[in-house]
Chain A
Amino acid sequence: MDQFLQHVLNALILGGTYALLGIGLTLIFGIMRVVNFTHGELYTFGAYMLFMFVMSMGTNFFLGLVLAIVMGVLLGALTEVVLLRPIRGADIDTTMLVMIGAWIAMQSLEQFTWSGVAKSVNSPFPVDPLVIGPVSVSWGRIFVFAVAILLIVGSHALIHRTRLGKAMRATFQDRETAALMGVKINQIYTATFALGSGLAAAAGALLAPVFVVYPTMGDAAALKSFAIVILGGLGNFWGAAMGGFILAIVEEFGAGYISSGYRDAMGFVLIILVLIFKPTGLFAQKERVG
């Protein structure tokens, strides 16, 4: 039972960052119809930026975290303007190939810049974990969870409470009509891609002190994001948030009770189950079957 509670707690904490990854990817897909293969690299980039600011330049940890997220947003915006804007209107396969090319180039560039050796980032939190009855959790992980929840609520507010968010939702529903109503589609796309990339970078930066940082860390993150997005239904904000937590729970229990070697395979099992029983995703409102 104690072990069970510990697994639940671990899953909750991990789920926060998974939700961030999923929301970022689902926003980009929902609004832009782009399968963003650079998502995992933005995650890696966020982690390396935190490493650069905190470990190489000696910036304060919290300032470094904010700067890392900002860098992620900027890289996302740059990617959109340089790579996606010129092929606007191209079919989904074309953009997919460009994003795969960008993925490979970015990952190799990270490997070239920081070498393949894993790096670790020191965190300012006390080493002693917080013990509540039978379970314990490190302060660093509590911080990760708190920031992740803050960012999820923040992006939800951005989409539902601001003018920019309204324009995003209008574009999501009907691009042409939104454009006719005076929504600047190009700006919305750049903002969306920057926001999604920023969330991925945030997830990477948050997890950098918990795990270690290495160039191919984004591959697993990208696969997990895809699984989360399929779970929640492509383009569904709360679906992605819930999907993040569901994947974390399944991974945590799968690793704890079945086999830890297959932890990263759990996402695939979930995808298969969803595609067999409810292909539109667990939280879809409308049919997407082609």
Chain B
Amino acid sequence: MTTTRFQELIAKNEALHSARRRITNSIMLAITGLLTLLALIPLFWIVGYVIYRGGSTINLDFFTQLARPLGVSGGGVLFSIEGTVVLTIISCLCAIPPGVLAAFYVASNPNTPLGVALRFGTDVLAGVPSIVMGLFIYVLIVVPEKHYSAWAGGLALAILMLPTIVRTTEEMLKLVPHTLHEASLGLGAPEWKTSLSVMFPAALNGIITGFLLAISRAVGETAPLLFTALGNDQYDLGKIIGGGIQYHQSLSAIIGRIINQPVDSLPLTLWKYALQPYPERIDQSWGVALVLMIFTLSIEIIARLWVESRKRALQG
């Protein structure tokens, strides 16, 4: 068996070529892994540093005291925690009912013109910059009312939450087995009763996680609140409610006072404090960052775990 010169060349070329190909292959594959590590660096850096700086600021006063004047030590961010709670409740009340109902529509009529338009619309709405939503609510509510208010801020956050709520609710409703739907209809239950007392409870776990994800996004948002909720470091729920009870005001009057004045929220406070040249304010803004981050990240993780287990349970 003799090899010709030609065969030799081919073999040599092949060896060289395949070596180059193999090396390219392993280098490029290694690079993708390194890029993944690279992207994780900021995550751990941010989380670690915020815990380090914020952890040293947080104490009981931080959660239970109102802001003190500059130069007076101590003081906390109770006002912005209360503001965040009020804003979140308002935005949930405004966003969840229409969002869930719209999701029922899309889930049952995905291919009608309205269904297609709605899916497209929610996608578009999800991409609208949050500051534009703030401008919209400013024009729609703050200008006619002539004052900033908590409910304007809540409404701006509600628009921000809508796409997430519609999307996740729709997906969760689609995961409910068809047989459940058909069984209920076959027993003679009307469509609305099937939707509300069969489909909705069956998908409830997933839907609630959708709400949680939407809330965690909304709680971390600042831009839509800049010119709707404005900020108010003297906001004191205890005083409003206590005063209302003391002077026998009606419930609606008390709620009116709660939602008709400007409020602060955690990210808004963080932003204001971070840009001030006073070290104690900056320390407090790290504390706020820690509270905010723990809140959003833990909601995100819990919600994802929940969705994952739910999907597994439903898919079989």
Tell whether A and B belong to one assembly.
no
B-contacting residues of A (Cβ < 8 Å)? none
